[in-house]
């Protein structure tokens, strides 16, 4: 088994980002800024927000954090987003999901200016991603794409794992992970199968794949039965269990196999936050 060290790749990238922030400050006299919004006090969300704020501070990015009451209405959240849309020091706005009342989540995301949509969840940016024909185009146009999906592509690139011509199965079709990641793999010329809970013959599909990405939120869901020798397996899942944090892969079962894999923790997780910093710089550049 070969491990992809997401923590190391992420740390190296964060040093580059820090240097870029310093350069931007010297050249423009401005400091890129990220606003985070947390509604309520979900403990997992509090941990994520804390890590995002710290990563901003470490990189020299200004951090603006706003906490709203758990019982805030959709209108309250949108009013805050409108205020941040108008704040010139704020380049990116991240609304931490899920909301206590999550049925309003997309309406709230839709209120974020597409120029400040660092999670790539606004229909404008999701549309741009779907219309783009290649990875080059996505990079050249500075399109704001979901951080986790960008993190997975970056992990593959930095590990010198080629994507072109490979068969990739993405298990999960959420707007946050499965769909944008499938589009990014396609833009990198993989042949992509987007699987979900109604997919039939999932084991067989995965067993034929060169790259398997699992983002189901089901602890230890994937084991050796799904993976061929030599495959690359990316574990997006973050699950809190009685035994601690684990991914969607039964890590013990794949330990003695000839696969390349991301651990949990220390794989995709740190890359998601690193890509949030990168997206904040993209948003800054798109706005000047
Ligand atoms: P969602 O719950 O929105 O989506 C889960 C997807 O997995 C759905 O498409 C669902 O199918 C599919 N699925 C669930 N069970 C099965 C199954 N038994 N077989 C096949 N497909 C299945 O979750 P997210 O996409 O938001 O997140 C997925 C995981 O990734 C979670 O563990 C989350 O914590 C983690 N995550 C990690 C991040 C990181 O930085 N590492 C960032 C974001 C998320 P269907 O659509 O049919 O219901």
Q: List the chain domain ranges.
A: 29-114, 134-269
Facing residues of 19 across strands? none
| Model pTM score | 0.98
Strands 239-241, 244-246: pairing is antiparallel
Task: Identify the residues whose C-beta falls under 6 Å from ligand 1.
Answer: 148, 171-174, 176-178, 195-199, 215-218, 236-239, 268-269, 272
No. of helices (H) and no. of strands (E), the chain: 11, 11
CATH 3.40.50.720 fits 134-269, yes or no: yes
Encode pLDDT of 21-74 as tens digits: 999 999 999 999 999 999 999 999 999 999 999 999 999 999 999 999 999 999
Joined together, the tokens standing for residue 49 give: 């927000």
Encode pLDDT of 195-249 as tens digits: 999 999 999 999 999 999 999 999 999 999 999 999 999 999 999 999 999 999 9
Instruction: Give the Å distance between the CA of 97 and the centre of ligand 1.
Output: 14
Q: Select 29-114's CATH number: 3.40.50.2300, 3.40.640.10, 3.30.70.240, 3.40.50.10860.
A: 3.40.50.10860
Indicate which atom in ligand 1 lies nearest the CA of residue 199: 20
């Amino acid at each position: 088994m070969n491990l992809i060290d997401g923590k190391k790749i992420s740390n190296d990238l964060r040093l580059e980002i820090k240097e870029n922030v310093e350069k931007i400050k010297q050249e423009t006299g401005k400091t890129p800024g990220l606003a985070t919004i947390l509604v309520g006090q979900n403990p997992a969300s509090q941990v994520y927000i804390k890590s995002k704020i710290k990563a901003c501070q470490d990189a020299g990015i200004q951090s603006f954090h706003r906490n709203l009451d758990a019982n805030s209405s959709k209108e309250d959240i949108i009013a805050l987003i409108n205020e941040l849309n108008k704040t010139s020091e704020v380049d990116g706005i991240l609304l931490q999901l899920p909301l206590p009342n999550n049925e309003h989540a997309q309406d709230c995301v839709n209120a974020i200016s597409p120029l400040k949509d660092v999670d790539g969840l606004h229909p404008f940016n999701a549309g741009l991603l779907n219309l783009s024909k290649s990875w080059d185009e996505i990079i050249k146009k500075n399109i704001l794409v979901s951080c986790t999906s960008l993190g997975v592509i970056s992990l593959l690139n930095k590990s010198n794992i080629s994507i072109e011509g490979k068969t990739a199965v993405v298990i999960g079709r959420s707007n946050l992970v499965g769909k944008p990641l499938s589009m990014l793999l396609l833009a990198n010329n993989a042949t992509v199968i987007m699987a979900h809970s109604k997919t039939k013959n999932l084991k067989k599909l995965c067993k034929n794949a060169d790259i398997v990405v699992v983002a189901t939120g089901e602890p230890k869901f994937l084991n050796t039965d799904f993976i061929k020798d030599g495959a690359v397996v990316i574990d997006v899942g973050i699950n809190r269990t009685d035994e601690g944090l684990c991914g969607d892969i039964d890590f013990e079962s794949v330990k003695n196999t000839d696969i390349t894999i991301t651990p949990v923790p220390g794989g995709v997780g740190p890359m998601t936050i690193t890509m949030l910093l990168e997206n904040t710089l993209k948003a800054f550049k798109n706005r000047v």
